[in-house]
Amino acid sequence: MEPNLTNTGTALAAALEGVTRPGPRTLFVIGCPRSGTTWMQLLLSQNTRVATAPETQIFSYYLDRFRRQWREEHEGHASEHQGGAGLSRLLTPEDFRNLCRTVASSVLDRILERNPDAAVIVEKSPRHALLADWIEELFPEACFLHVVRDPRDVAASMFAAGASWAQWAPRGAVQAGRLWKDHIEGARRVRNGGGRYREIRYESLRADPAGELGGVLEWLDLPAVAADIEAAVEACKLSRLQTAADGDRLPLPGRESPRGFFRRGDVGGWRDELTPSSIRVLEEICGDLMAGLGYERTTASSRGARTRIRAHDFIQRVRGGVDWRLDRLAKRI
């Protein structure tokens, strides 16, 4: 069954009016960072009917801050002490949604400019998983491709990235486990969208990239020619991406990824990379979701893991309290 996807190649005036015109479909590729979303995007980028670009983070880095301010004006201290100061004095909630939709549509239009003949616009920003329900609210016909990977392999990849190029990456098992869990739960909030949500396992993609890519292309109603799929898989082989030197062009429009971005991509590599303590903590936090996704635990629930999690939370609370008091003190100086 052909998915009902959103139209995005529209003029900004039409977006402001909430008018949808015939145009390319939109696909959001989401998932926890270090789960294979970039590889999936690279594979899709080889199709001539796809327009894509490096991560825009339009919702997670930009519009979500806009939305938080809007909520503060309606629900936070600003609503109590400033009488609804800000845009809330001028815009209705629907006006505000249309404004956010307009900004996002302008970004999608820019992606389309890279390939004006594209039938599908692919936007890949893993952190958009945390905002999938809001994205669906703004673009109710959008499709979501959710790439899922074993949280232990995700954590191992995060730790390696954090040691070299990724300042954002968690260094501890508690933060890594919660990051994975939050992204999985966020992405799955839109899985009842009537054929507009598809979940793909990294492990399956690794085992049979051609078969999985072909299935996604058919789901998107894009050409799924076997020879083209094999060529795409060859162009995006992890072994090729892993050895790409600085300055080499990757099969994706835009700047090169940092050295070390593409690792071995092993399935189960966490067994050699994670400490037993980190494994216990990850499985304690992610255990229920892991079971539902078919990832088997290797440890039983343990008091030691729970103690480590509580210690982490206590330190975070103390840190937050100290920062708050120092901030108040600084304002009085």
DSSP string, 170-185: --SHHHHHHHHHHHHH
192 within a domain of the structure (yes/no) = yes
DSSP string, 220-259: TT----HHHHHHHHHHT-HHHHHTPPTTPPPSSSSSPPPT
Per-residue b or e along 19-56, where b marks 16 or more CB atoms closer than 10 Å to that residue's CB: eeeebbbbbbbbbbbbbbbbbbbbbbbbbebbbbbbbb
Domain residues for the domain of 238 are 12-267
318 within a domain of the structure (yes/no) = no
Sign of CA dihedral 49, 54, 60, 63: negative
If you average pLDDT over every residue of the chain, what do you get? 86
- Its pTM stands at 0.85
What is the count of structural domains for the chain?
Answer: 1
CATH number, domain of 169, equals: 3.40.50.300
In this model, does residue 8 exceed pLDDT 80? no
Element (H, E) at 271: helix 270-273
Least confident of 68-82, 120-134, 302-316: 68-82
Find the mean pLDDT for residues 14-19.
51
For residues 69 and 14, the model is more confident at: 69
328 within a domain of the structure (yes/no) = no
Q: How confident is the model at residue 149 (pLDDT cuts 50, 70, 90)?
A: very high
7 within a domain of the structure (yes/no) = no
For residue 112, CA distances in Å to 15, 107, 196, 218 come to 15, 9, 20, 21
